[in-house]
């Protein structure tokens, strides 16, 4: 199959005319991003949020034009806005003809105001939504999120897992999911069930390694869709694997989603580098209780000899958690089995349930659940943990 180039897509988009201006979308400067991979094309259109509804036919026209190109398997056009005014046009995850497409529509509520009290995103039927966050990428946030969710499920708690790490969705790989989510009515997506978890990931919809360019407003609206338009059903806990870092997009998520609490994943060296502190500060800013810190890659356990080496100066997170008055949830060693199991679609909590690592995750899950179900919480919101 011939590779689809960005310039070929651009040429096709030059044939799509905005009737309001008479200009094609490229000439009008609306096309802010084109990503192609193995027959999948994603186009971002930068628009004025006030124009969202009016431009929907144009967005569809762009999608159709690209889809009609030879060798294109799927085409997605999303509207986004760099102009900060919230709320952004929200990408809708909609399904047609067995294929899921992520695309956008204008904010539906007539007269919806952009000022102040934007509704918090709540998921009916889900008792607690918790975020798993990290100050930066590569600390094992997703590995922790998956094994924590499986640890909750192993403790008999009905659990869902939402991969909100839309920059680098890892659930398809970590859970070995190859199929696309289905929809019975073309509106609501059915979560994909794996190992007793209900799961959803943007990676189920867009190819995992498609280089997607997401801007802040799109991140939160894509997540909003994955919370609202997925049939999560009744769940005790929905674990949300957040995008790494503590930028505006993450802050918006923390602010908009009705979170019962957050778990911060850190390695011993980040604690020293205060990345994790940034995570704490972010949740504090939006009054989301921090359920605690997990120290990942805490020490090295040699898979051959079982020797334990504290190469990163283990224990930093525990000390830091104590100092900040935040619970310490537990430590996970750096171990080859943790990597190979999660990278092959069989996370350690389910593939080696009797192992010490699985037990460590289950203990962390138990500590998280204890806080969530503590009687004084009365559901949500939880008591605020005060940090100095
Ligand atoms: P993040 O979500 O923070 O970017 P990931 O969970 O994707 O990080 O982990 C990054 C890599 O490190 C993955 O290959 C994962 O398998 C590996 N990894 C994470 N935690 C551990 C651990 N405790 N021991 C060994 N490998 C780990």
Q: What is the pLDDT of residue 325?
A: 83
* Residues with pLDDT less than 50, the chain: 83-117, 377-388
Question: Exposed, middle or buried: residue 179 (CB in 10 Å: 0-12, 13-18, 19+)?
Answer: exposed
H or E element at residue 37: strand 31-37
Q: Which residue CA neighbors atom 4 of ligand 1 most closely?
A: 138
> In sequence order, what are the beta bridge partners of 186?
none
pLDDT of res. 198: 97
pLDDT of residue 92: 43
Q: What is the CA radius of gyration of the chain?
A: 22
CATH match for 6-80 among 3.30.420.280, 3.30.300.130, 3.40.640.10, 3.40.50.720: 3.30.300.130
Burial class from Cβ neighbours inside 10 Å (0-12, 13-18, 19+) for residue 360 reads buried
Going from the Cα of 139 to the center of ligand 1, the distance in angstroms, rounded, reads: 6
Would you state the pLDDT for residue 208?
52
The predicted pLDDT at position 165 comes to 81
Measured distance CA(119)–CA(123) in Å, rounded:
12
The CATH class, in words, for 126-377 is alpha beta
Backbone angles phi, psi at 329, to 5 degrees: -90, -20
**Residue 239: CB partners within 8 Å, gap ≥ 6?**
130, 132, 145, 148, 149, 152, 159, 160, 161, 162
The domain spans of the chain are: 6-80, 126-377
Amino acid 270: pLDDT: 66
- The count of C-alpha atoms lying within 13 angstroms of the C-alpha of 284, restricted to the half-sphere facing its C-beta, is 14
Residue 235 is predicted with a pLDDT of 97
- Tokens representing residue 202 in the block: 């943007």
Predicted pLDDT of residue 352: 96
Mutate to test the pocket of ligand 1, among 140, 166, 250, 276 (most ligand atoms within 8 A of CB): 140
Pocket residue to mutate for ligand 1, from 269, 299, 342, most atoms within 8 A of Cβ: 342
Q: What pLDDT does 218 receive?
A: 63
């Amino acid at each position: 199959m011939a590779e689809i180039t960005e310039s070929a897509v651009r040429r096709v988009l030059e044939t799509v005319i905005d009737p309001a201006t008479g200009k094609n979308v490229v000439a009008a400067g609306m096309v802010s991003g084109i990503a192609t991979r193995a027959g999948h094309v994603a186009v971002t259109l930068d628009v004025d949020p006030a124009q969202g509804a009016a431009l929907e036919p144009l967005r569809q026209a762009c999608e159709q034009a690209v889809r009609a190109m030879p060798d294109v398997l799927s085409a997605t056009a999303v509207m986004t806005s760099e102009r900060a005014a919230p709320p952004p046009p929200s990408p809708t995850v909609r399904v047609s003809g067995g294929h899921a497409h992520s695309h956008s529509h204008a904010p539906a509520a007539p007269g919806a105001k952009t000022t102040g009290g934007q509704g918090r995103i709540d998921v009916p039927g889900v008792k607690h939504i918790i975020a798993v966050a990290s100050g930066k990428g590569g600390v094992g946030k997703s590995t922790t999120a998956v094994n924590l969710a499986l640890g909750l499920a192993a403790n008999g708690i009905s659990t869902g897992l939402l991969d909100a790490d839309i920059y680098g969705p890892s659930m398809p790989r970590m859970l070995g999911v190859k199929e696309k989510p289905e929809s019975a009515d073309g509106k609501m997506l059915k979560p994909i069930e794996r190992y007793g978890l209900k799961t959803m990931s943007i990676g189920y919809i867009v190819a995992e390694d498609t280089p997607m360019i997401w801007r802040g407003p799109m991140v939160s609206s894509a997540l909003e869709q994955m919370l609202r338009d997925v049939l999560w059903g009744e769940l005790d806990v929905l674990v949300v694997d957040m995008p790494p870092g503590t930028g505006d997009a993450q802050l918006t998520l923390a602010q908009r989603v009705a979170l019962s609490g957050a778990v911060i994943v850190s390695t011993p060296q980040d604690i020293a580098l205060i990345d994790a502190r940034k995570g704490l500060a972010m949740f504090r800013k939006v009054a989301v209780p921090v359920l605690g810190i997990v120290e990942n890659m805490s020490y090295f356990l040699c898979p051959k000899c079982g020797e334990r080496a504290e190469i990163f100066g283990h224990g930093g997170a525990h000390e830091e958690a104590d100092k900040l008055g935040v619970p310490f949830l537990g430590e996970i060693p750096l171990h080859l089995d943790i990597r190979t199991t999660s990278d092959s679609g069989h996370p350690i909590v389910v593939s080696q349930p009797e192992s010490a690592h699985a037990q460590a995750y289950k203990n962390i899950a138990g500590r998280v659940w204890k806080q969530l179900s503590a009687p004084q919480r009365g559901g949500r919101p939880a008591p605020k943990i005060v940090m100095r």
